[in-house]
């Protein structure tokens, strides 16, 4: 083990355009999407036949057969079959958590390079059998005689035959993520107009980035998509204002399909390496991985909003790095819902929250909106859960590289289970 | 339907029914299996010296004269005079007609050709060597040299069984004559299976900067360690070009539009190259290609060859063609490569085109013949021909040993032509001397020949890869 930590640098990334659930990738499996994304990355960096340190990826909605999803994708890819791989899962934080994991291993010298990211399909979601049927089938498989087997199967009731599909709901509260967020939006007084403005900006900025060729070396077309399927370049605050609320109840309901992320399909990966590995492969470093923090909140008791954990993680990370919000040149705050971003910003501006909840002397500060999600985010791109972290890391690394050495970027991703994964990158 | 037509043209029963059968062509770096016969008109020696340099064994060609004919008895008992026959199938006939100056010399050419017409093996070769007619001097000599073209083009149409005929014009009567080492790569290409789908063509080999070494000419992997950029490499002919050049040692930078998708990654990964997603019409396209090369191959990394293969069609009768349909085709197929060349030809630019570098364009028989509904496409492809001729004549490029050439593919079997209506496709396949469509590899091999470091004396040429298609011939 080296005495000194080495740097971990981000060298680039690849994602496929994100599809709408039931859309272009309706029949694509997680493995197919992840493999294609990996092959695109390998081709971009000329790594065919090479062994990289490891590939870490994950999926939130996962079939039982995909227990070794990432390793299977590696075996199906142009990478050397001797490249190790593993799956990791932290809900919507999966993609960013894999980057943290691989970066940490590189920093420790355990690997010299790695690929990190994730994939998700809301279209090709697993369907499980009901608990009654499952127990009966397991009982029948344990039975030693035909009679015992018949007896076990006889326990099945018609109601047990209904399949269980994955639900976008928190197991401990029964509320969907949107319903949780509606509570938070109301608590922070986030207006419909502010949410629609953020959503419109996300679409316009992402469309501009595609138009300018920003994604030429960050994305590879897949099936019939060459751009994100849910992207609406011509949307406007007026158009968004016409949509009916879908989360929350009554007068105060502000969250619509327009200012909430749609269910999506897609995959995204990031290539990381030590500076030495990068130099040996003649790959310029885009950004250095600086540090990361994960926070969790008690949303079950109602003490805090489900998606508010990043509001806690970011101040802790900034404090550890001796930085303030003003030191950050680019903010990438995952748009689970427009109101999630706005509630997080409001919290950091709130003296009450920052002193009471964070133990600071005063408000954390204000995020310069011109530095926020400048090439759009999940509202426009879509949000295939585990793919979002990879999308953001590669996008931010390229932006920071364009800004120049020493520029700083902050990533914040909220996740189911009341967790928040955040990280800081520095431009090279 | 495609399969039905394939069945009809390859099934033995179909042959008995009189459906013309496509010969399976010899391809790759393979010489003909039979002997190579050499004959000369007027004392030319360049062909023989070049074949000796290449180490290709030769035999003297038979010459048909009245006194050499033999009497043959036909099945119905009648007798007739026939030319003396070669004892074994002939692999190729090479005629050095560089010394032909009179009409009487053309009779010798006939005498050399006649025994070979039925004596060639499958995918045999006829190569005639002449000089540029305008350098031949007296009007009769010019006429004689021009006559060779008529002979070769007719022979190409008469040969069967995948055999081809081509005319190579060299500089002999000029201040800088073509050396055997300079002719070698061309002669070898025309004898090899690499030229499977090139027939009835006339091409000029001049004098380049420095004679290639024979090991260079004979190298199986002429691009070893050299960077080659191929645009439009994600599919079809472009993928074939990338694969073929990689097979021959090239470090391929495979370029295609970002929207192209998986195809590009699959091609790049299968040949150990790199994928560069790029819209070639972007103003900074040339700079981005150079930056990619400089970055991936170091400060010393330069491009040996760029193949401008990317192209689009926006077919519509001219009566229905607006400025968008017109402009987009000219932009992608012509303007983009002009801009990219300008950038890469900067000798100081890291990752630019190397001295002794190669630029290869892709024209089309449509550019030569025009095509109904393709005025925009034909304009762009004819433009490529003009571009190549102009750059090929540029002394500043010649000084740096840079050659500029193009191929003009005819009907090539690709996913795109596979979607043509059956009848149209079958006509297109058949309307050439080889009576079949070409393959992407045929275009790729021809590009490989033009991009070969040993092809330094070939510049400003547009070589058709069309099986001697009637279109635009």
Residue A252's pLDDT is what?
Answer: 79
Burial class (CB in 10 A: 0-12, 13-18, 19+), A338: buried
Q: Which of A42, A213, A221 comes nearest B269 by C-beta?
A: A42
pLDDT digits (tens, 9 = 90+) for B220-252: 999 999 999 999 999 999 999 999 999 999 999
Pick the CATH number of B221-465 from 3.10.20.90, 3.40.50.720, 1.10.510.10, 3.40.50.300: 3.40.50.720
Distance from CA of B233 to the nearest CA of A (A): 13
Chain A, nearest residue to B261 by Cα = A221
pLDDT at A110 over 80: yes
Are A384 and A401 in contact by the 8 Å Cβ rule? The answer is: no
Task: Map residue B120 onto helix, strand or coil.
Answer: strand
Provide, as residue numbers in chain A, all residues whose Cβ is less than 8 Å from the Cβ of B273: 43, 46, 48
pLDDT digits (tens, 9 = 90+) for B140-162: 999 999 999 999 999 999 999 99
Query: How open is the CA angle A320-A325-A326, to the nearest 5 degrees?
Result: 120
Provide, as residue numbers in chain A, all residues whose Cβ is less than 8 Å from the Cβ of B261: 220-223, 226
Q: Which of B254, B261, B297 comes nearest A220 by C-beta?
A: B261
Contacts of A428 (CB under 8 A, 6+ apart): A9, A284, A285, A286, A287, A288, A400, A401, A405
Structure tokens at B407: 């191929």
- DSSP letter for A230, please: T
Residue B2's pLDDT is what?
Answer: 47
* Spatial distance between the Cα atoms of A126 and A17, rounded to a whole number of angstroms: 22
Mutate to test the interface with B, among A45, A77, A221, A266 (most CBs of B within 10 A): A221
Q: Which of B262, B282, B297 comes nearest A222 by C-beta?
A: B262
Going from the C-alpha of A314 to that of each of A31, A311, A411, the distances in angstroms are 33, 6, 9
Are A75 and A81 in contact by the 8 Å Cβ rule? The answer is: yes
Any chain A CB within 8 A of the CB of B424?
Answer: no
> DSSP assignment of B244-302, as one string?
HHHHTT-EEEEEE-GGGTHHHHHHHHHTT-EEEE--TTSTTHHHHHHHHHHHHH-TT--
Contacts of B386 (CB under 8 A, 6+ apart): none
Distance from CA of B290 to the nearest CA of A (A): 14
Residue A406's pLDDT is what?
Answer: 97
Provide, as residue numbers in chain A, all residues whose Cβ is less than 8 Å from the Cβ of B260: 221, 226
Distance from CA of A211 to the nearest CA of B (A): 11
Residue B351's pLDDT is what?
Answer: 96
Place of tokens 């998509």: A225
Nearest 10 degrees: CA dihedral of A193, A195, A197, A198? 160
Are A41 and A271 in contact by the 8 Å Cβ rule? The answer is: yes
pLDDT at B6 over 70: no
Higher confidence at residue A247 or residue B110?
B110
Residue B424's pLDDT is what?
Answer: 86
Question: What burial letters (b/e) apply to A70-84, b meaning 16+ CB within 10 Å?
Answer: bbbbbebbbbeeebe
pLDDT digits (tens, 9 = 90+) for A233-246: 999 999 999 999 99
**B263: confidence class by pLDDT, cuts 50, 70, 90:** very high
Structure tokens at A146: 């035909």
Contacts of A397 (CB under 8 A, 6+ apart): A10, A12, A13, A270, A286, A287, A409, A425, A427
| Domain A177-213+290-427 of CATH type 3.40.47.10 | yes
Q: What are phi and psi of B157, to 5 degrees?
A: -75, -25
Higher confidence at residue A176 or residue A265?
A265
Mutate to test the interface with A, among B264, B265, B289 (most CBs of A within 10 A): B265
* Spatial distance between the Cα atoms of A90 and A240, rounded to a whole number of angstroms: 32
Neighbours of A123 (CB within 10 A): 21
Residue B175's pLDDT is what?
Answer: 87
* Helix (H) or strand (E) segment spanning residue B465: strand B462-465
Residue A50's pLDDT is what?
Answer: 97
Per the residue annotation, which of A92, A354, A375, A428 is the catalytic one? A92
How much of chain B, in percent, has pLDDT values that exceed 90? 84
Contacts of B252 (CB under 8 A, 6+ apart): B228, B229, B230, B233, B242, B245, B246, B268, B271, B273, B274
Distance of CA A390 to the CA centre of its chain: 7
Least confident piece of the model among A152-166, B150-164, B382-396, B431-445:
A152-166
Q: Which of B259, B260, B269 comes nearest A48 by C-beta?
A: B269
Neighbours of A144 (CB within 10 A): 7
pLDDT at B11 over 60: no
Least confident piece of the model among A222-231, B8-17, B21-30, B378-387:
B8-17
Structure tokens at B264: 């590009």
Q: Among A99, A95, A125, which Cα is nearest to A30's?
A: A125
**Strand pairing report for A419-427 and A287-296:** antiparallel
Structure tokens at B150: 């008529």
Q: Which of B262, B277, B282 comes nearest A217 by C-beta?
A: B277
Task: Map residue B102 onto helix, strand or coil.
Answer: coil
Going from the C-alpha of A208 to that of each of A204, A213, A305, B72, the distances in angstroms are 6, 9, 33, 81
Going from the C-alpha of B230 to that of each of A77, A251, B352, B362, the distances in angstroms are 23, 60, 14, 11
Residue B144's pLDDT is what?
Answer: 98
Q: Which residues of B are catalytic?
A: 377
Chain B, nearest residue to A285 by Cα = B295
Q: Which pTM does this prediction carry?
A: 0.91
* Spatial distance between the Cα atoms of B187 and B184, rounded to a whole number of angstroms: 5
Any chain A CB within 8 A of the CB of B254?
Answer: yes
> Looking at this predicted complex, what is its ipTM?
0.87
pLDDT digits (tens, 9 = 90+) for B364-373: 998 889 999 9
Kindly determine whether residue B261 and residue A221, on different chains, have CB atoms separated by under 8 Å.
yes
Please, what is the angle between helix B336-344 and helix B285-297, to 10°?
40
Chain A contact residues (CB < 8 Å to B): 36, 39-40, 42-46, 48-49, 78, 213, 215-217, 219-223, 226-227, 282-284
Mean per-residue pLDDT, A192-196: 97
Task: Name the range with the highest mean pLDDT among A141-155, A360-374, B415-429.
Answer: A360-374
Neighbours of A158 (CB within 10 A): 7
* Spatial distance between the Cα atoms of B285 and B265, rounded to a whole number of angstroms: 19
Least confident piece of the model among A129-133, B82-86, B87-91, B141-145:
A129-133
pLDDT digits (tens, 9 = 90+) for B387-413: 999 999 999 999 999 999 999 999 999
| Domain B21-205 of CATH type 3.40.50.720 | yes
Neighbours of A370 (CB within 10 A): 6
* Spatial distance between the Cα atoms of B311 and B318, rounded to a whole number of angstroms: 19
Q: Which of B261, B273, B279 comes nearest A222 by C-beta?
A: B261
* Spatial distance between the Cα atoms of B213 and A161, rounded to a whole number of angstroms: 78
Mean per-residue pLDDT, B298-314: 92
Chain A, nearest residue to B301 by Cα = A282
**Strand pairing report for B462-465 and B403-409:** parallel
Residue ranges of B 429-448 with Cβ closer than 8 A to chain A: none
Any chain A CB within 8 A of the CB of B253?
Answer: no
Per the residue annotation, which of A354, A383, A401, A428 is the catalytic one? A383
Are B304 and B354 in contact by the 8 Å Cβ rule? The answer is: yes
* Spatial distance between the Cα atoms of A8 and A307, rounded to a whole number of angstroms: 29
Beta-carbon pairs below 8 A across chains A and B: 74
Across-strand partners of B465?
B409
Mean per-residue pLDDT, A51-64: 96
pLDDT at B10 over 70: no
Q: What residues does CATH 3.40.50.720 cover in chain B?
A: 21-205, 221-465
Distance from CA of A206 to the nearest CA of B (A): 16
Residue B211's pLDDT is what?
Answer: 86
Burial class (CB in 10 A: 0-12, 13-18, 19+), B44: buried
Place of tokens 């055999």: B163
Question: What burial letters (b/e) apply to A38-68, b meaning 16+ CB within 10 Å?
Answer: bbbbbbbbbbbebebbbbbbbbbbbbeebee
Are B226 and B260 in contact by the 8 Å Cβ rule? The answer is: no
Are A400 and A289 in contact by the 8 Å Cβ rule? The answer is: no
Q: Which of A44, A49, A215 comes nearest B274 by C-beta?
A: A44
Please, what is the angle between helix B262-270 and helix A30-45, to 10°?
60
Residue ranges of B 257-276 with Cβ closer than 8 A to chain A: 258-262, 264-266, 268-270, 272-276
The overall average pLDDT reported for chain B is 93
* Spatial distance between the Cα atoms of A210 and A213, rounded to a whole number of angstroms: 5
Mean per-residue pLDDT, B266-271: 97
Structure tokens at A259: 């200012």
Domain ranges of chain A: 177-213+290-427
Residue A126's pLDDT is what?
Answer: 79
pLDDT at B1 over 50: no
Residue B7's pLDDT is what?
Answer: 55
Structure tokens at B81: 């005079």
Kindly determine whether residue B277 and residue A39, on different chains, have CB atoms separated by under 8 Å.
no
Mutate to test the interface with A, among B277, B282, B300 (most CBs of A within 10 A): B277
pLDDT at B468 over 90: yes
Task: Map residue A207 onto helix, strand or coil.
Answer: helix
What are the strands, taking DSSP E only, across B83-214? 90-96, 120-131, 164-170, 201-205
């Amino acid at each position: 083990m080296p005495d000194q930590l080495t740097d971990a640098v981000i060298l680039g990334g690849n994602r496929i355009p994100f599809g709408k659930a039931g859309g272009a990738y309706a029949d694509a499996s997680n493995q197919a999407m992840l493999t294609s994304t990996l092959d695109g990355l390998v081709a971009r960096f000329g790594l065919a036949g090479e062994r990289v340190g490891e590939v870490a990826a994950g999926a939130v909605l996962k079939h039982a057969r995909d227990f070794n999803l990432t390793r299977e994708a590696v075996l199906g890819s142009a990478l050397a079959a001797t490249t190790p791989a593993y799956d990791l899962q932290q809900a919507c934080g999966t993609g960013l958590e894999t980057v943290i994991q691989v970066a940490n291993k590189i920093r420790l010298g355990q690997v010299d390079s790695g690929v990190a990211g994730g994939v998700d399909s809301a279209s090709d979601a697993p369907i499980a059998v009901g608990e009654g049927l499952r127990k009966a089938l397991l009982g029948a498989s344990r039975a030693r005689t035909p009679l015992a087997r018949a007896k076990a199967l006889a326990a099945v009731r018609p109601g047990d035959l209904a399949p269980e599909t994955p639900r976008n709901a928190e197991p401990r509260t029964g509320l969907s993520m949107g319903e949780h967020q509606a509570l938070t939006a109301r608590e922070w007084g986030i207006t419909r107009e502010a949410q629609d403005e953020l959503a419109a900006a996300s679409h316009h900025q992402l469309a501009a980035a595609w138009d300018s060729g920003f994604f030429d070396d960050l994305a590879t077309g897949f099936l019939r998509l060459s751009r994100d399927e849910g992207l609406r370049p011509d949307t406007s605050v007026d158009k968004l204002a016409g949509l009916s609320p879908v989360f929350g109840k009554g007068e105060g309901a502000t969250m619509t399909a327009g200012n909430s992320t749609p269910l999506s399909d897609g995959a995204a990966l990031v290539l990381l390496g030590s500076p030495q590995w990068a130099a040996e492969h003649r790959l310029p470093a885009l950004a250095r991985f600086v540090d990361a923090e994960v926070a969790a909140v008690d949303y079950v008791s109602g003490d805090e909003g489900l998606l508010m954990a990043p509001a806690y993680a970011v101040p802790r990370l900034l404090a550890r790095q001796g930085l303030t919000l003003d030191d950050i040149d680019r903010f990438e705050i995952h748009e689970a819902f427009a109101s999630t971003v706005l509630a997080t910003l409001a919290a950091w501006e709130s003296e009450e929250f920052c002193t009471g909840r964070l133990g600071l002397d005063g408000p954390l500060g204000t995020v310069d909106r011109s530095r926020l999600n400048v090439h759009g985010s999940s509202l426009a791109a879509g949000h295939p859960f585990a793919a979002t972290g990879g999308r953001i890391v590669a996008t931010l690394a390229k932006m920071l590289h364009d800004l120049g050495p020493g520029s700083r970027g902050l990533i914040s991703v909220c996740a189911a289970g009341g967790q928040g994964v955040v990280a800081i990158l520095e431009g090279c | 339907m495609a399969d039905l037509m394939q069945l009809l043209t390859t099934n033995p029963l179909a042959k008995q029914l009189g459906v013309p059968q496509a010969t399976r062509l010899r391809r790759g770096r393979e010489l003909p299996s039979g002997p190579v016969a050499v004959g000369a008109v007027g004392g030319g020696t360049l062909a023989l010296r070049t074949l000796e340099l290449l180490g290709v064994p030769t035999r003297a060609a038979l010459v048909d004269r009245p006194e050499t004919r033999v009497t043959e008895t036909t099945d119905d008992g009648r007798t007739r005079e026939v030319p003396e026959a070669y004892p074994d199938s002939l692999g190729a006939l090479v005629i050095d007609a560089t010394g032909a100056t009179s009409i009487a010399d053309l009779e010798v050419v006939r005498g050399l050709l006649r025994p070979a017409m039925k004596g060639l093996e499958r995918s045999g070769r006829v190569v005639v060597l002449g000089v540029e007619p305008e350098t031949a001097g007296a009007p009769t000599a010019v006429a004689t040299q021009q006559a060779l073209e008529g002979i070769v083009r007719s022979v190409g149409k008469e040969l069967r069984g995948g055999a081809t005929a081509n005319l190579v014009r060299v500089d002999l009567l000029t201040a800088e004559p073509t050396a055997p080492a300079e002719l070698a790569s061309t002669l070898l290409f025309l004898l090899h299976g690499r030229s499977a789908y090139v027939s009835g063509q006339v091409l000029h080999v001049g004098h380049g900067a420095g004679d290639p070494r024979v090991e260079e000419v004979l190298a199986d992997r002429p691009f070893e360690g050299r960077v080659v950029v191929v645009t439009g490499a994600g599919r079809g002919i472009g993928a074939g070009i990338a694969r073929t050049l990689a097979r021959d040692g090239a470090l391929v930078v495979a370029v295609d539009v970002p929207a192209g998708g998986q195809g590009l990654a699959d091609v790049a990964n299968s040949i150990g190259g790199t994928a560069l997603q790029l819209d070639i019409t972007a103003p900074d396209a040339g700079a981005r290609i150079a930056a990619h090369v400089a970055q991936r191959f170091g400060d010393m990394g330069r491009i040996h060859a760029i193949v401008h293969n990317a192209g689009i069609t926006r077919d519509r009768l001219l009566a229905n063609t607006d400025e968008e349909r017109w402009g987009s085709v000219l932009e992608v197929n012509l303007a983009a490569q002009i801009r990219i060349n300008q950038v890469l030809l900067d000798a100081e630019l890291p990752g630019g085109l190397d001295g002794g570098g190669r630029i290869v364009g892709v024209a089309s028989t449509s550019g030569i013949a025009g095509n109904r509904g393709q005025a925009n496409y034909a304009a762009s492809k004819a433009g490529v021909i003009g571009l190549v001729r102009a750059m090929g004549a540029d002394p500043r490029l010649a000084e740096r040993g840079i050659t500029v050439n193009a191929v003009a593919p005819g009907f090539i079997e690709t996913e795109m032509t596979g979607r043509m209506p059956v009848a149209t496709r079958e006509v297109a396949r058949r309307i050439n001397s080889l009576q079949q469509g070409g393959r992407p590899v045929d275009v790729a091999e021809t590009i490989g020949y033009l991009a070969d470091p040993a092809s330094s004396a070939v510049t400003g040429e547009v070589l058709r890869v069309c099986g001697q298609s009637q279109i635009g011939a």
